[in-house]
Amino acid sequence: MENSYLDMELLRFTTAGSVDDGKSTLIGRLLHDSKSIFEDQLDHVEASSKKRGLEHTDLALLTDGLKDEREQGITIDVAYRYFATPKRKFIIADTPGHIQYTRNMVTGASTANLALILIDARKGLVEQTYRHSFIASLLQIPHIIVCVNKMDLVDYSEEAFEKIKADYEDFAAKLDVKDIRFIPISALNGDNVVNRSDKTDWYEGPTLLYTLETIHIGSDFNHIDCRFPVQTVIRPKTDEYHDYRGYAGRVSGGVFKKGDDIMVLPSGFTSRVKSIETMDGEVEEAFAPMSVTVTLEDEIDISRGDMLVRPNNQPQATQDLDVMLCWFNQEGPQIRKKYTVLHSSNEVKVMIKQIHYRLDINTLHRQENYQNLGMNDILKVTIRSTKPLLVDAYRKNRLTGSLILIDDSTNETVAAGMITG
């Protein structure tokens, strides 16, 4: 049996939006047309819609799973949806678009390869468009697809589409995203979503689904700078594996090969890769995001939190970090207060030394006079840690360039940070 399922890639994308911009309709259509909605789910949603006195079947009820969300008719949290076509499997992180949910958008964006941004063809760029795009840029999502939606309501006008495209390209000059594409669609009627529309002859590009299926994501991970954070040490201590000492972890960057010279940080000892192993046998090379076990030629004292790198390409070891923080908690950041930072497989105490500015997420303006910092604020800060962290700039590596801040009294994750230098 030929099984194409075993040869599919995974694409994670994020969407954000409000009730009326057609986001739910679009997701509903992608799920429906890829046969990822089941009959009993649809029955449930239809029954719930009726119970709420709605005229249409509200596909948002598919994703809004919590009692409060269903009662209030809003998405509170990030909802993950799954669908697959014969070419790819997709994970949608569906987030609410309102400014008070910036933290959810940031969360959804952190693992995404691609951001889907919806613009109403009648309205053009609005505040949410800027906000979602800035977040995509800030979180370094490699690809953006701008869907100009509701084309049916502007008579499928090429002019309307081109105007929005030009406006967005103007604005996008400020962004740090390399790959931006534009597609005219009608989520409601299905134009250019799965099937090409016969009403947009002037549009020669591919449909949304085709783009999602074929966009090149192979280089979204860093395959240049070798980084292997050690998660745990494997020591079976059985007769067969008496002296076995393997370093378990997930490659964060670069390509590791058997025989490679490596350096262990922070100790600085050097050795060579003896083998890269999995339960299925040895592999010749390991790259992000593979989980493997590495053994070395020499016996070196290595534990969780250490990192294997190449001697000629090391991350920065520093106690002073410039970080762009997204604040998640009601209680705002406090200068000199101690927090715990989780970075890669490391854990350290830090304090916030300085808050440089707050970023206006709608305009990207830096506000140096601010009051009442709190939830959903984006801040540029300098933090000081009790011991050096092994970091890369977030632009270079999303895995070794990111961290979270934890409040020691509540244990809550109060902020997520992207290292700028």
Partner 1 sequence: MAKYNLTHLQELESEAIFVIREVFAQFEKPGILFSGGKDSIVVTHLARKAFWPSKIPFPLVHIDTGHNFPETIQFRDDLANEIGAELVTPLVQDSIDKGRVREETGKDASRNWLQITTLLDAIEEHQFDALMGGARRDEEKARAKERFFSHRDDFGQWDPKNQRPELWNIFNGKKHYGEHFRVFPISNWTEMDVWQYILLEGIKIPSLYIAHEREVIWRNNSWLPNSEFLNLREGEEVVNKKVRFRTLGDITITGGIESDADTLEKIVVEVAAARQTERGNRADDKRSETAMEDRKKEGYF
46 lies in the site for partner 1, by CB under 8 A: no
d(CA 103, CA 116): 17
Say if CB 25 and CB 31 are below 8 A apart: no
231 lies in the site for partner 1, by CB under 8 A: yes
Q: Which of residues 1-40 bind partner 1 (CB under 8 A)?
A: 1, 3, 5-10, 38-40
98 lies in the site for partner 1, by CB under 8 A: no
Instruction: State whether residue 371 is helix, strand or coil.
Output: coil
Q: Give 273 or 288: the residue with its C-beta nearer to partner 1.
A: 288
Cα 258 to chain centroid distance, Å, stands at 31
Q: Give 56 or 237: the residue with its C-beta nearer to partner 1.
A: 237
The site for partner 1, by CB under 8 A, has a size of: 83
Kindly state the smallest distance separating residue 133's Cβ from partner 1, in Å.
19
Kindly state the smallest distance separating residue 59's Cβ from partner 1, in Å.
13
Angle at 381 between CA 379 and CA 402, to 5 degrees: 85
Q: Where are the alpha helices (DSSP H) in 52-194?
A: 60-63, 67-72, 102-110, 127-138, 158-172
Question: For 301, how many CA atoms within 13 A lie in the half-sphere containing its CB?
Answer: 2
Among 199, 287, 300, 317, binds partner 1 (CB under 8 A): 287
Task: Identify the bridge partners of residue 82 per DSSP, sorted by sequence position.
Answer: 91
d(CA 364, CA 386): 32
Kindly state the smallest distance separating residue 66's Cβ from partner 1, in Å.
5
Say if CB 358 and CB 172 are below 8 A apart: no
Q: Which of residues 384-413 bind partner 1 (CB under 8 A)?
A: 398-399, 402-404, 406, 411-413
Kindly state the smallest distance separating residue 413's Cβ from partner 1, in Å.
5
Q: Give 172 or 290: the residue with its C-beta nearer to partner 1.
A: 290
Residue window 175-214: x/- pattern of binding to partner 1, with contact defined by CB under 8 A: ----------------------------------------
Among 21, 58, 77, 191, binds partner 1 (CB under 8 A): 77
d(CA 30, CA 28): 6
Kindly state the smallest distance separating residue 223's Cβ from partner 1, in Å.
5
278 lies in the site for partner 1, by CB under 8 A: yes
Q: Which of residues 106-125 bind partner 1 (CB under 8 A)?
A: 106-107, 110-111
Q: Give 63 or 137: the residue with its C-beta nearer to partner 1.
A: 63
370 lies in the site for partner 1, by CB under 8 A: no
Among 196, 199, 245, 250, binds partner 1 (CB under 8 A): 250
Say if CB 387 and CB 319 are below 8 A apart: yes
- Peptide bond before 289: cis, by omega within 30 degrees of 0? yes
- The enclosing H or E element of 265 equals strand 261-265
Kindly state the smallest distance separating residue 154's Cβ from partner 1, in Å.
34
Among 24, 25, 63, 129, binds partner 1 (CB under 8 A): 63
Among 74, 125, 290, 300, binds partner 1 (CB under 8 A): 290
How many residues in total does the chain contain? 421
- Peptide bond before 86: cis, by omega within 30 degrees of 0? no
CA distances for 18 relative to 76, 107, 216, 228, angstroms: 12, 17, 29, 40
Q: Minimal CA–CA distance to 409: which of 336, 339, 326, 332?
A: 339
Q: Give 188 or 255: the residue with its C-beta nearer to partner 1.
A: 255
Say if CB 328 and CB 375 are below 8 A apart: yes
232 lies in the site for partner 1, by CB under 8 A: yes
Among 171, 210, 244, 357, binds partner 1 (CB under 8 A): 244
Only one of the segments 13-21, 200-208, 238-246, 310-318 lies at the binding site for partner 1 (rule: CB under 8 A); that segment is 238-246
Pairing mode of beta strands 255-257, 285-287:
antiparallel
